[in-house]
Structure 1
Amino acid sequence: MSTRRTWPRHVVWGALGLGLLGLLAWALRPSPVPVNVARVTVGPFIDSVIEEGRTQLRNTWNVSAPIAGYLQRVTLEVGDNVEEGQILFQLEPSPAPALDVRTRQQAEDNLQAAQARFQAAQANLETARADRRFAEAEYQRYRQLHQRNLVSTAELEQRQNQRDRLRALENSAASGVEVARFEVESARALLAVASGQRSDADQPKLQVRAPVTGLVLTRYRCCEGSVSAGDPILELGSLDDLEIQVDLLSMDAVRLRPGMAVNITGWGGEPLKGEVRRIAPSGFTRTSALGVDEQRVPVIVDFSPRLDLATLGLGSGFRVDAEFLIWEAEQVLQIPTSGLFRHDGEWAVFVVEDGRAVRRTVEVGRRQGLVSQILAGLNENETLITHPGDRVAEGARVEADE
């Protein structure tokens, strides 16, 4: 006869309760946090600063009108080559101003007065000539009489003095005639002025020549017309003096040194090489597109080596991208910068170990955009969490999506 062992009822109910509690705990446990992860890698690392720049000419020459005058048409166009000493443009005297009715009437009256003075001067000259001829004849008669001792020496000297005085009066009258003639010509020229028109007669022209060999960068005036002294006409320069100005943030500019290598891209062709020539000792404030005041420092970059920039198509005022190479190495331990966060005043990352997030303190070196150099705290090929959120904590279960 077999006997069947029976469990006490309280044991059975206890086992069932424990099973239900286990099922409930398993059902209520937190699910793994989905995270993005990346590998710790070793490879080339470049610490650089990239900023937009603009080409410019180191030296330019603004050729302006040296005096006021009438500019003849400028035939040179932008981009034309010029040689030192070549005629750039010509200036001629300005046209005479137009005369109004009152001024013209005054000019006519002045001409008539000048003609009257000229006639009076001619009459005075005729009178002076007649007196001088009579004094000449008197002196000759008295000299013959003096030779025969019929008149005294004093009388002869008196006639000679009178002759000399009348000669001087004749010369003065002749000069008066010349002065009156010039006055007539001046009054006639003023009256004959055409209203605001240039004279058809040949006039002296001032030729302005090129101070250097180069090309025309800007033509401020092309058509003929009146110009004042100092008005700009042309701007000259040479592409051999082409350089790049890059306005960097002051916090980036202090990391640069003259002679640093620069990669020049974004101009429409193959990358070019350059080097830092000068870092300005003073900066300026510029408002960004977001309305933030930024302190900028001008940095001048030279092309290295010098190239035939004209054949490349580069000119003054062209946009380029300049990458300043501050530091570079071939074998550098690096991680995505998005995996870093601050914890107790130090840099830290979350490393995935056995499906859980483990916080680890790291020593960060150089940072370049999306990548940062790690000096200590991580090893190659370890997996770390990028963009850790609030749900990621020490020991939390995570589900990696690499």
Structure 2
Amino acid sequence: MKPLQRWIRRLAWSLLAVGLLALLAWALRPAPVAVSVARVEVGPFVDSISEEGRTRLRDTWNVSVPIAGYLQRVTLEVGDPVERGQVLFRLEPSPAPALDPRSRQQAEDILHAAEARLRAAEAILETARAERRFTEAEFERYQTLHRRNLVSGTDLDQRRSQRDRQRAVERAAAFGVEAARFEVESARAVLAVSSGQRGDIEHPELEVRAPIDGTVLSRYRCCEGSVAAGEPVLELGSLDTLEVQVDLLSMDAVRVRPGMAVRFTGWGGEVPLAGRVRRIEPAGFTRVSALGVDEQRVPVIVDFSEAPIPAALGLGSGFRVDAEFLVWQADEVLQLPTNALFRTAGQWSVFRVEAQRARRIAVTPGRRSGLVTQVLAGVEEGDHVIVHPGERIEDGTRVEVDP
């Protein structure tokens, strides 16, 4: 029995040693890596481009001053509606410039000289009238004597000629008086405004009218004062022609086509607004991003396509909106989170959880839309893939799914 006991004892010690080694190996084995997983699903998928945009008016009218003059106060304010043909503002002739003491003294001297010429012209006119009356009386006497055959026809013709010449002299003297009177009025007009102020007399006014039915967008001048020709006063526009300009990255702009559907959010209302791409500008420009990176941007013009009218909702020119361009969409698309994808050996892959272990699976991604990517091959609906896989995750690594 002793050999049997010794064999049993050895077997027991051997089993105990194996158990201890197994327990030690189990205790020293690597702990499973905690991971977050996402489920591969089939559902609606939208490939879109999102960018911030600004509303603007398709056409605006800058109403400026046609000629230099004195602008009366503009009573219209920003936001006021206007109708075609409505008077927007009025212009008066510019007031005379103020006279310095020397110019005023010269103007007074010119007035005195004009008044003196007027008096001289009036005296010449009185003399011409007296001479004309005398020659007319002489002609009448000679005419009576000629009928009695007491004077010759030659003497009568001479008196007639003198009478006609004197009448012409009188008319010339009358014109001289009229011209002298105009000179006096002109000299008085120069002195009428000596301080550059407008007088109480009425001036002819030029009325500038609205070219369209619309709204006042900007008011560059409100108060009265002198204005130069071409100076802008008001900016008009029709809010019914409201559109949106979105500056897309050039790599995104090439994916956009005229007529593409656009959805506007972030404009302040609860319901998104619909739009359609009308034009992609053929020339881009460079804009520096917030990170200091030069970006090539392309302006894309989008029209609102459905009621209600944006102006009725409170939108105006220069308002911010978020534009989402719907490049492609489908209802039944196999998709997974974009952050589950990684590249290895030049191929896209994911880690699929199988029996508490991570298995690297090669996949073929399709379209991307923000945080979601379409999958063409490699995984199936219902598979669980690891999101944000770290360096500790390798093919076959034991994992523990976070609840």
TM-score in terms of structure 2 length: 0.90
Quote the offset at 1:339 in angstroms. Answer: 1.0
Q: Does 1:60 align with 2:60?
A: yes
Quote the offset at 1:333 in angstroms. Answer: 0.6
Quote the offset at 1:218 in angstroms. Answer: 1.9
In structure 2, relative to structure 1, the CA distance for the partners of 1:3 and 1:212 (3 Å cut) is closer
Quote the offset at 1:173 in angstroms. Answer: 2.4
Structure 2 partner of 1:293: 294
In structure 2, relative to structure 1, the CA distance for the partners of 1:118 and 1:320 (3 Å cut) is same
Equivalent position SS for 1:6: helix
Structure 2 partner of 1:38: 38
Q: Does 1:206 align with 2:232?
A: no
What pairs with 1:176-215 in structure 2 (closer than 5 Å)? Answer: 176-215=176-215
Output the amino acid matched with 1:314.
Answer: L
Structure 1 partner of 2:348: 347
Distance 1:125 1:29 in 2: 137
1-10 vs 299-308, which deviates more? 1-10
Q: Does 1:307 align with 2:276?
A: no
47-56 vs 300-309, which deviates more? 300-309
What pairs with 1:88-103 in structure 2 (closer than 5 Å)? Answer: 88-103=88-103
Gaps of 5+ in 1: none
What pairs with 1:174-253 in structure 2 (closer than 5 Å)? Answer: 174-253=174-253
Structure 1 partner of 2:363: 362
Cα distance per residue 1:160-217 (max 9 Å; x no partner):
5554444333333222221111111111121121412211012211122111112222
What pairs with 1:238-277 in structure 2 (closer than 5 Å)? Answer: 238-270=238-270, 271-277=272-278
Equivalent position SS for 2:111: helix
Distance 1:340 1:3 in 2: 65
Cα contact 2:49–2:324 (8 A) shared by 1: yes
Cα contact 2:104–2:194 (8 A) shared by 1: no
Quote the offset at 1:26 in angstroms. Answer: 3.8
Percent identity for Structure 1 against Structure 2: 69
Structure 2 partner of 1:328: 329
In structure 2, relative to structure 1, the CA distance for the partners of 1:130 and 1:378 (3 Å cut) is same
Distance 2:258 2:341 in 1: 33
Output the amino acid matched with 1:208.
Answer: V
Equivalent position SS for 2:6: coil
Equivalent position SS for 2:215: strand
Equivalent position SS for 1:391: coil
Distance 1:175 1:192 in 2: 25
Cα contact 2:285–2:298 (8 A) shared by 1: yes
Distance 2:352 2:151 in 1: 145
Distance 2:131 2:3 in 1: 187
Quote the offset at 1:102 in angstroms. Answer: 0.9
Distance 1:79 1:351 in 2: 60
39-48 vs 338-347, which deviates more? 338-347
Structure 1 partner of 2:77: 77
Distance 1:189 1:224 in 2: 24
84-93 vs 166-175, which deviates more? 166-175
Output the amino acid matched with 1:284.
Answer: F
Quote the offset at 1:139 in angstroms. Answer: 5.0
What pairs with 1:11-30 in structure 2 (closer than 5 Å)? Answer: 22-30=22-30
Cα distance per residue 1:246-295 (max 9 Å; x no partner):
11111111111111111111111131111111111111111111111111
Cα distance per residue 1:127-176 (max 9 Å; x no partner):
33344444445555666667777777666655555544443333332222
Cα contact 2:273–2:306 (8 A) shared by 1: no
Output the amino acid matched with 2:84.
Answer: E
Output the amino acid matched with 2:48.
Answer: S
Equivalent position SS for 1:182: helix
158-167 vs 335-344, which deviates more? 158-167
Cα contact 2:46–2:329 (8 A) shared by 1: yes
> How large is the Cα RMSD of the aligned pairs?
2.8
171-180 vs 149-158, which deviates more? 149-158
TM-score in terms of structure 1 length: 0.90
Cα distance per residue 1:15-57 (max 9 Å; x no partner):
8876665555444433222222211111110011111111111
Output the amino acid matched with 2:171.
Answer: N
